[in-house]
Amino acid sequence: MKKKIVIAGGGIGGLSAGIYALKAGYDAEIYEKNPVAGGECMGWNRKGFHIDNCIHWLTGTDSGTSLWQLWKTLGAIDENTGYAKTDKFYTCRLDGKEATLWKDRDRTERELVALAPEDESEIRRMIQHVRFAESCSIPVEKPLDMMGVGDYIKMGKSMANMPKVMKEYGDIDLNELAERFHSPLMKMLIKDYMPAEYTAYSFIVSYATMTGGNGEIPLGGSLAMTNRIIERFKSMGGRLFTNAPVKSIIVEKGAAKGIELENGEKITAGAVISAVDTSLLYGRLLGGAYTPKDWAGAYGSSSDYPVMSGFQVAFAADNGFSGDGTIFFGCDPIKIGSRSFDMISVKNYGYEKSFAPEGRTVLQTNISQYDEDYLYWKSLSKEEYKARKQELADGIAKRLIKEFPELDGRLELLDCWTPLTYERYCGAYHGAYMAFITKPGVKKLKCDGTVRGVKDLYIAGQWIMSPGGLPVAAASGKFAVQRILKKEKRPIDI
């Protein structure tokens, strides 16, 4: 009989673990609490429109990369995948001026220098390092701790220019990088896409993913990609159980023996892979007994280990909207809890015809939220929460119309959601989109994909490697299966 691997959580990490377990010759069962799998890589329908809520860019769309091979194995993308026709990362608007990070970095360089000649040398330095960072790739062949000297030499050669990027931007955060510029618009361009506490190199690498042709949006969006992965899992013989919340991991004599569902059913397994948020694994599923000290410390210190979430609103609008792609714009201050925000981003999904009826489009706004904001939302009663969401959605609509007068009378509210939505729907710690924010000077949390004190229990999901995101989630599932293979002294090439 084949060994059975049981997987708790059916996000991209769990689905990847399932597919690689089947590939390695195991039986695989996934238990997902929601009616549909996919976790944060999700989209949903409202009033005849589709709200796409994940992929702003998928790293690994360059078919020459190992990550592309991984996505292909998962059924996420292949040689025939079509991509959205977008030509920019994002635009910032301030006082009637616009600055854009184009996919064409040379165009970006030219335009930014013309816009802010006082910052010419800093702009040129930044774009030069974006060129260097285009060689950056995420190691997905095997976990770092299983890599030998040869693997490291190969990785070093393929990313020969990355040390230059790390040297220039590895020790400063985005606030400090922004301070190198004089133009307020340039400062905004640097600081507003990612949390300003992020190490500056994360921003350089993210932009380089696009300029290097390795970060596209697959047509159909997040839900369509998730459904392709689910289909791949099922077509290989995997069994996916939805509406099946896991209550705990069964641990006997220091080893995982299976899982217990909320309905009391016990499922035995040869090995268990947890692909739920690590805070849930360490807390609810293991009862707090096996939480590593440094992780417990991180959960207790949101200043050193913050997470980012968002207050998002989706509107339907006419296609006549002049804004293209993602635009950040300065606005009249809007208060959420004790904090005031003077910046909103709006993304026009007009590039995807299947998301809206003919002649209309979906606009999605976002205000970044952090641990403190999550706690504010958490403090509200059910009625207060509902009312506050509605008030804020109205406030955001007013500000959108002020910035883009052509939207007057043409916006229809589709939905709005908060960090609590991600907590409720995915069990996401403080509503986090990604893993902990990597701050310069703060010790990076390590996770070797196992739980000390519990044999046959493995960890997948975006939290095992910073900064998280879809590529980490996808690779983590493969890594968990490789750890099982290694324990059985079998080849890990899958």
Ligand X SMILES: Cc1cc2nc3c(=O)[nH]c(=O)nc-3n(C[C@H](O)[C@H](O)[C@H](O)COP(=O)(O)OP(=O)(O)OC[C@H]3O[C@@H](n4cnc5c(N)ncnc54)[C@H](O)[C@@H]3O)c2cc1C
User: Which residues of this protein are in contact with ligand X, per CB under 6 A?
Assistant: 8-14, 31-34, 39-41, 53-57, 245-246, 275-277, 280, 422, 426-428, 433-434, 461-462, 468-471, 473
Using CB atoms within 10 Å of the CB of residue 441, give its burial: 0 to 12 exposed, 13 to 18 middle, 19+ buried: exposed
Nearest to 344 by CA among 395, 388, 390, 386: 395
Measured from the CB atom, the residue of 128 and 450 that comes closer to ligand X is 450
Measured from the CB atom, the residue of 20 and 433 that comes closer to ligand X is 433
From the centroid of its chain, how far is CA 367?
A: 16
Placement of tokens 């931007």 in the chain? 169
Give yes or no for a cis peptide into 218 (omega within 30° of 0).
no
Amino acid making up residue 293: K
Measured from the CB atom, the residue of 14 and 306 that comes closer to ligand X is 14
Measured from the CB atom, the residue of 53 and 438 that comes closer to ligand X is 53
Measured from the CB atom, the residue of 3 and 56 that comes closer to ligand X is 56
- Least distance (Å) between residue 182 CB and ligand X: 31
Measured from the CB atom, the residue of 75 and 427 that comes closer to ligand X is 427
Q: How far apart are CA 84 and CA 340, in angstroms?
A: 34
- Least distance (Å) between residue 52 CB and ligand X: 9
C-alpha angle with apex 41: 188 to 166, nearest 5 degrees? 45
Tokens linked to 345: 């981003």
Give the chain's length: 494
Measured from the CB atom, the residue of 54 and 205 that comes closer to ligand X is 54
Placement of tokens 């095997």 in the chain? 142
- Least distance (Å) between residue 125 CB and ligand X: 27
Tokens linked to 354: 């299947």
- Least distance (Å) between residue 121 CB and ligand X: 31
- Least distance (Å) between residue 421 CB and ligand X: 9
Question: How far lies 219's CA from each of 36, 68, 184, 295, 345, in Å?
Answer: 20, 16, 35, 37, 22
Question: How far lies 110's CA from each of 193, 427, 437, in Å?
Answer: 21, 44, 31
How many C-beta atoms surround the C-beta of residue 234 within 10 A? 13
- Least distance (Å) between residue 181 CB and ligand X: 25
Q: Which alpha helices (DSSP H) does 243-381 contain, by range?
A: 278-280, 293-299, 371-379
- Least distance (Å) between residue 60 CB and ligand X: 9
- Least distance (Å) between residue 39 CB and ligand X: 2
Measured from the CB atom, the residue of 270 and 461 that comes closer to ligand X is 461
Question: How far lies 31's CA from each of 235, 265, 400, 428, in Å?
Answer: 17, 12, 41, 17
Measured from the CB atom, the residue of 9 and 270 that comes closer to ligand X is 9
- Least distance (Å) between residue 33 CB and ligand X: 4
- Least distance (Å) between residue 55 CB and ligand X: 5
Calculate helix-pair angle for 12-23, 221-235, nearest 10 degrees.
30
- Least distance (Å) between residue 402 CB and ligand X: 25
Measured from the CB atom, the residue of 275 and 396 that comes closer to ligand X is 275
Measured from the CB atom, the residue of 5 and 116 that comes closer to ligand X is 5
Q: Are 203 and 130 in contact (CB under 8 A)?
A: no
- Least distance (Å) between residue 97 CB and ligand X: 27
Measured from the CB atom, the residue of 60 and 350 that comes closer to ligand X is 60
Question: How far lies 325's CA from each of 355, 364, 468, in Å?
Answer: 15, 10, 24
